[in-house]
Amino acid sequence: MVVNQSPHTVESSLPTAESRGKRLKIATPEKKDEKNVAGQRRVSSRLQAAKQKADKEILVKKRVELLDLDEDGGSSKKKVVNGDFREKRKLKDDQTRTQNLPETTELKMVAMAAKIDSLKSIPSNVVAKSAHIKVKETIRLFNKHYLHFVQEEEKRCGTGGVKVDKKDPKAMIAHKGDVGDVKNKSKRPDLKAISKASIDVGHQFYSRAEMCVVGFHNHWLNGIDFVGQNHKKGEFKNYILPLAVAIVLSGQYEDDLDNAEDVIYTGQGGHDLTGNKRQIRDQVLERGNLALKNCVEQGVPVRVIRGHQCPSSYTGKVYTYDGLYKVVQYWKQKGISGFTVFKYRLRRLEGQPTLTTSQVQYVNGRGPKSPSEIQGLVCEDISGGQEDVPIPATNLVDDPPVAPTGKLNFQISLSLFLCFSDYKYCKKMTVAENIKIPTNVAGCNCKGVCCDPKTCACAKLNGSDFPYVRRDGGRLIEAKHVVFECGPRCGCGPSCVNRASQRGLRYRLEVFRTPKKGWGVRSWDFIPAGAPVCEYIGVIRRTEDLDDASENYYILDIDCLQTMRGLGQRNRRQQDASLPMIPNMDSIDEQKSESVPEFCIDAGSSGNVARYINHSCDPNLFIQCVLSAHHDFRLARLILFAADNIPPMQELSYDYCYPIDGVYGPDGKGIGHTKMVKAENSTQSKSMEEEHKSKKEAHVLILPFPGLLGHMNPMLQLARRLVSKGIKATLLTTIFLSKSVTLSDPTGSIHLETISDGFDQGGFAQAGSDEIYLSTFKSAGSQSLASLIKKLGEIGQPLDAIIYDAFLPWTLDVAKQFGLLTAVFFTQSCAVNSIYYHMSKGLLKLPVEEPNASLPGLPVLQVSELPSLLYHYGSFPALFDMVVAQFSNIDEADWVLVNSFHHLEKEVIDWMSGIWRLGTIGPTIPSMFLDKRLENNKDYGISLFKPDTSTCMNWLNSKPNGAVVYVSFGSLAMLGAEQMAEIAWGLKSSNCYFLWVVRESEEPKLPENFKGEIGDKGLIVDWCNQLEVLEHESLGCFFTHCGHNSVIEAMCLGVPLLAMPQIHDQATNAKYVEDVWGIGIRAFPDEKGIVGREIIKECINEVMEGEKGKEIKNNAIKWKNLAREAVDKGGSSDQKIDEFVAQLLCA
């Protein structure tokens, strides 16, 4: 059993999935370590022979790790939570069982949440898990402790027929600061909220306590959660505090009016807490009420959570996150009861998923009430009446539809029927002839039901306590090596709490046909965490007898013994106090048991509903080994338990191979619900399997906006990073541009394909206007792209994903038609993208009338520091429309990739991560100028101009170190003749050498005879290799227009900047260069918009020789190192690329 937990840690106490031996696992030799969370199972020679037929999801994390190992010369550095971190976060199990606790479960939950909150800081030397994983693990930890408290409450209330002995020292263990100390003030979770980036619209919480422990809404009773004055010196320093961040709308106030998209919300305070909803005194404009008022005035949206009745929840309610709402208005009035109340109108922001609640009535995920409601029913009960609860099967995919057992409710051909005739549903386990099951062991002497764990022999085997609580028919408190249940020779009856897994199916399950994963299973009922779902049933066989059965996808190892010993890179679970010895334990072949378990369960020809449950790297079930009749660990029963609270109609899944959440995909998220295709014997399943085998590697298509070097080169560099991690990449450009652009790729690893933009002969110039080109490109490009995707599939090079330029949002619509993974790529900074997002959603009103703009995660910006689309509103209508269109369907993209890195724009990146699955994967410059991990990556590979490299390098070589000012305004900027003259004379009058790039089209604007007057002090060229120039030791300053790529290149090479922004995002970039990063200064224009020669001269001299220049140079070196760390192995950007690769390989 491979589990990613060490014993006695916060992680180990969570119910987690085991890495089950679905017979496709490939061994990966690694250093044996019980704390290794990423270890792979060892397998037999039969499994190694099946390697080529394994689904590529098995290779997800291994492929990325092996590539990293190659770079390190074979060293094995695991990006995992180390032992020190585990020790800092551990909660001793005996602490949770203390009897010195508050008298109510609610107070226990409060105290426990305080303890959890205190564990949220992560050392800097630990690679942090994604936000999604943190949330999931925190809620699992919460559920585990909740069940512990339920067990203590059952004892206290005498539910089990035994009272707690307060004199028992084991029962009274309590430590200072333990969960029982309710007086300790809990630390408020980070308001950036680990949950913001990972709680999707529609997510359900089953109590207010769950929202508190993950930081989503931090009040147990109050409806308004807000940022208080104690945060005014942090990231909220630019806001007026308090500021609301979330509200709960659950019908507790008589004046509330909920119209789903539009809400009238009553402020907090003054109502009767007995539950009659009436106001008994006036409300006051303070705390939460004042915070909502400030949201109105500052345009800050809030998270809205709706509470509604739910009998399945242990609190009687479910709280559903319904998305972001803007607080558009507030006022005070006399309420229904005659007292003053504050009212707030909230309006839901556009572009979010559809509401799952309406009028505080939950409407999502309801299972059918009867078979008559089922669509696509092909079998009323696949068990043929064997199970107490019928298991229907549905198929809305196949034509004609088929059932998983061949029992159909309509006529089909005989040949199709025979495809399923070799499988038989079986409720009970059968045993191969060459296996002898041990005799039943003596059990406990309890009568009726087991009550006292001190006297029950079976409870003593579980650590002197029962592994289950009685609630909901029996729920497992936490995962263990093995659970000992009462057996046939015990004195207790079938209602005993310690027989929870022996009672058969208790939930209404449905087997349904999925479009791409074969058959799957879902429940019509809510399944609480820890509840047993079903046992894996089949034929118990010796593993060695199945070494040649490579086509059988339904074999599950019984590896209880290996997990207990920590063999084969398995991670040990919760230790048990007393473990009996199996017969002839010492005579077991150690080498054999370490290689592969001795026994397995084969459900290929006969089995139960468990055989249809799919794999996921982000599962909601886990497998627990259980012993009841005998105590031979090698022949333990395998029971599937709920790892989470599972709502109705959610597909059930467990992890066939990896530790639970061991492969991260965004946010994080764990690679969710990307399943293996099970090998069915139907014609369709065979074709799916053959198609899957033909895919040798994941294939991604890269589509930048044609002709823009600032877009093409960063996306090409991302393609090279992906290739270095085993991904096949194809760069896409237009037919016209392909005639003039040459792709320089020494390794030959990047392929080039073309599509039509509708102007194959002349490109943009042929169109005549921006509007015509963009509209034609959308229509012609969509058709051409769809044809290319089909063609690549037909020639055996099918695509798995498309990374497309944000300027081409129609690409996503085409990609979704083919079921491809999609990633939108932004070439500008996160700050600029955030400004454009607020503009596109109407959150930043245009034209901007206020002198300053304040947006989440950004410094206060003067109007002139905003992008020119806002500062000069209406001046670029076509570009404005294109920028707005970037966000038209962005919420449908699987990833949002940005050419930035986390440390560079931490605040705004954290804010954006709460909206999208964000991947900061920059800086995207050639590796040899940064981390040097890609040896052949020495230039961008695409250039629209021919650089005069030899002339530049020879001239630079003749100059002293740090003496040259490099001047370039990019490939698009067009300066006026007056500005060109001011730059020329400012450079000439400075004390420095200068290298000035003046494109051929701009050269006539130079002052007459200027080239002849400068002599050897300056060199003017048409174009140069900018990276080589910036890297040269003679460089002391870069005089730039502040395009994002130019700024990033200078930062990566530690070159100070003199900023003279021109258009688009450049003014905002310049603001960051000077005031945020401190790597340069700005040259400000006069009232006519011209930067004069004296200003230029003074700025150059200040950067090159002044006191300010020394500080700038130090900052430049600091950011150079941070940029390198981001893309180096294990850095923030490298991790994001690995997460994307992991999901891509699962796609």
Contact (CB, 8 A) for 752 and 743: yes
What would the two tokens of residue 780 be? 């012609």
Fold agreement (203-363, 946-1127) = no
What would the two tokens of residue 1078 be? 């401190």
Environment class of 581 (CB within 10 Å of its CB; exposed 0-12, middle 13-18, buried 19+)? exposed
Under DSSP, the state recorded for 864 is G
Under DSSP, the state recorded for 268 is S
Dihedral over Cα of 415, 419, 421, 427: its sign: negative
Share of the chain above pLDDT 70, in %: 73
Contact (CB, 8 A) for 216 and 247: no
Region class of 342: left (phi > 0), else alpha (psi between -120 and 50), else beta: beta
Higher pLDDT pick, 684 / 485: 485
Band (3; pLDDT cuts 50, 70, 90): very low
Dihedral over Cα of 690, 696, 700, 701: its sign: negative
The mean of the pLDDT values for the chain is 77
**pLDDT tens digit sequence for 27-74:** 333 433 333 333 333 333 344 444 444 444 444 445 544 544 444 444
Of 564-578, 626-640, 898-912, the least confident:
564-578
pLDDT value for 670: 39
Residue 567, helix vs strand vs coil: coil
pLDDT value for 238: 81
pLDDT value for 370: 66
- Measured CA to CA in angstroms, residue 630 lies from 135, 637, 842 at distances of 38, 10, 68
505: phi then psi, degrees, rounded to nearest 5: -70, 135
Distance CA 1082, CA 1067 (A): 9
Distance CA 997, CA 1020 (A): 6
Q: What is the mean pLDDT of residues 638-647?
A: 93
Contact (CB, 8 A) for 1129 and 933: yes
Is the model's pLDDT at 572 over the cut of 90? no
Could you tell me which residues come within 8 angstroms of residue 1016 by beta carbon, excluding any fewer than 6 positions away?
none
pLDDT value for 158: 67
Is the model's pLDDT at 678 over the cut of 60? no
Q: What is the mean pLDDT of residues 971-975?
A: 80
- Measured CA to CA in angstroms, residue 660 lies from 11, 35, 78, 88, 976 at distances of 11, 15, 16, 22, 61
Instruction: Compute how many other C-beta atoms are within 10 angstroms of the C-beta atom of residue 986.
Output: 22
pLDDT value for 1111: 93
What would the two tokens of residue 521 be? 């299973």
**Third-level CATH fold of 946-1127:** Rossmann fold (3.40.50)
Of 112-116, 867-871, 1115-1119, the least confident:
112-116
Of 618, 764, 706, 844, which is closest to residue 57 (Cα–Cα)?
Answer: 618
Could you tell me which residues come within 8 angstroms of residue 550 by beta carbon, excluding any fewer than 6 positions away?
23, 46, 49, 50, 53
Complete DSSP assignment for 76-134: ----S--HHHHHHH---HHHHT-S---SSHHHHHHHHHHHHHTT----TTS-PPPHHHH
What would the two tokens of residue 74 be? 């074979």
Residue 1008, helix vs strand vs coil: coil
**Third-level CATH fold of 695-920:** Rossmann fold (3.40.50)
pLDDT value for 192: 35
What would the two tokens of residue 984 be? 């020329």
Instruction: Compute how many other C-beta atoms are within 10 angstroms of the C-beta atom of residue 549.
Output: 16
Of 494-508, 687-701, 745-759, 864-878, the least confident:
687-701
Complete DSSP assignment for 413-429: -HHHHHTTTT-EE-SS-
Of 68-77, 80-89, 217-226, 368-377, the least confident:
80-89
Q: What is the mean pLDDT of residues 376-387?
A: 88
Is the model's pLDDT at 1023 over the cut of 60? yes
pLDDT value for 737: 85
Of 1002, 1040, 1025, which is closest to residue 948 (Cα–Cα)?
Answer: 1025
Distance CA 83, CA 6 (A): 9
pLDDT value for 783: 93
The length of the chain, given as a count of residues? 1147
pLDDT value for 129: 60
Band (441; pLDDT cuts 50, 70, 90): very high
Q: What is the mean pLDDT of residues 707-725?
A: 87
Reported pTM: 0.52
Share of the chain above pLDDT 90, in %: 36
Contact (CB, 8 A) for 644 and 142: no
- Measured CA to CA in angstroms, residue 363 lies from 202, 320, 358, 458 at distances of 11, 11, 8, 44
- Cis bond upstream, residue 169 (ω within 30): no
Distance CA 939, CA 926 (A): 6
Band (257; pLDDT cuts 50, 70, 90): low
Q: What is the mean pLDDT of residues 435-464?
A: 92
pLDDT value for 1047: 94
What would the two tokens of residue 278 be? 């009436």
Is the model's pLDDT at 542 over the cut of 80? yes
pLDDT value for 277: 65
**Third-level CATH fold of 203-363:** PUA domain-like (2.30.280)
- Measured CA to CA in angstroms, residue 88 lies from 81, 118, 120, 684, 761 at distances of 11, 11, 10, 52, 65
Higher pLDDT pick, 214 / 365: 214
Contact (CB, 8 A) for 575 and 7: yes
Contact (CB, 8 A) for 540 and 426: no
Contact (CB, 8 A) for 40 and 656: no
Of 25-34, 123-132, 418-427, 1067-1076, the least confident:
25-34
What residue spans define the domains of the chain? 91-191, 203-363, 695-920, 946-1127
pLDDT value for 112: 43
Distance CA 503, CA 495 (A): 9
Is the model's pLDDT at 82 over the cut of 60? no
Work out the end-to-end distance of the chain between its first and last CA atoms, rounded to an integer number of angstroms. 26
Q: What is the mean pLDDT of residues 1017-1024?
A: 89
Contact (CB, 8 A) for 646 and 618: no
Distance CA 423, CA 420 (A): 6
Angle between helical axes of 105-117 and 131-156 (0-180°, round to 10): 150
Contact (CB, 8 A) for 339 and 270: yes
Distance CA 570, CA 1107 (A): 59
